[in-house]
Structure 1
């Protein structure tokens, strides 16, 4: 599948908000379409980030979208929730011991090289809003899509509980992200997990 073409098709069909084309133009200047989604786990492969974004969109739409929902909002939050990972990873190699031979081997790897350390969800919101004005429900959903895995939550924040209580889209995006990550993309890493 040509993930870039699929992403652009879905985005263009469903998002008509001012700034949408400028955001797509900016994405083309980043590694968004070729970057991994993680360093060693789901989507830790070339094009993993765009693949993951499409998977989250597909899960969100198939599981949670109803005719009463706003398709543009669902598209924006699912396709752009991990925009913070554009220009975030660096490819390289690391040494891993081969269990069968006992020899050390170089394997491809990714590492984090965050030039703009602004957090996860909030960084995605910031980057999107440089081009497209988000509705509060969209910003909240993207900000809290990591759920209990977010550093702010582990630090004792009640904001996520309030966000999930007030904005069902935030819960739906979190669940779609989990399903895409742990069920749909299981085994999509080309990088050795050791």
Structure 2
């Protein structure tokens, strides 16, 4: 008989860059549900669609014959926008960058060690994009900066263990609010910041310094 061919089940459809952005958002929803909701509407996807994208992502990662992380990202995101050699301590690796339309000023970075093993995967500022001005605790709003930017702005910062594989923590001290360079120094706060896929999600004040 004629007619339209049967539709592919959702699990058989290609996993797209849109689906990958939904995975990033799903991991951020625990801390910033309102921001995630706005972003989901921007992408035109339902709550069920976001859940399904995350389910399929987990199934791909944990499949018995799952491909390596770099091959998986290439199959979903295409060829990287750039591949740049980078030296970190004694290790020479390649930094692969992909655009993320939801955050035009950011890139998804995968650091690949010799042998093709991906050992770090997170969001970074796009080359040439202006970095945020981080001077005080008041500037540390959700999604305002990346791990590296916060660490540089409030050095010396100390890494903290994240609460999940896609989360990073950072401990540092920051002024409480905007400072007058010609006036007295204000209160400084000990802070613990949490990042998901390298993007700031929340900051907790853990102490006060004179």
**TM-score by shorter chain over 0.5:** no
Q: Under a length normalisation based on structure 1, what TM-score does the superposition of the two structures give?
A: 0.26
The answer to which structure has the higher strand fraction is: 2
Structure with higher Rg: it is 2
The answer to which structure has the higher helix fraction is: 1
Does 1 or 2 have the higher relative contact order (CA < 8 Å, sep 6+)?
Answer: 1
Q: Under a length normalisation based on structure 2, what TM-score does the superposition of the two structures give?
A: 0.25
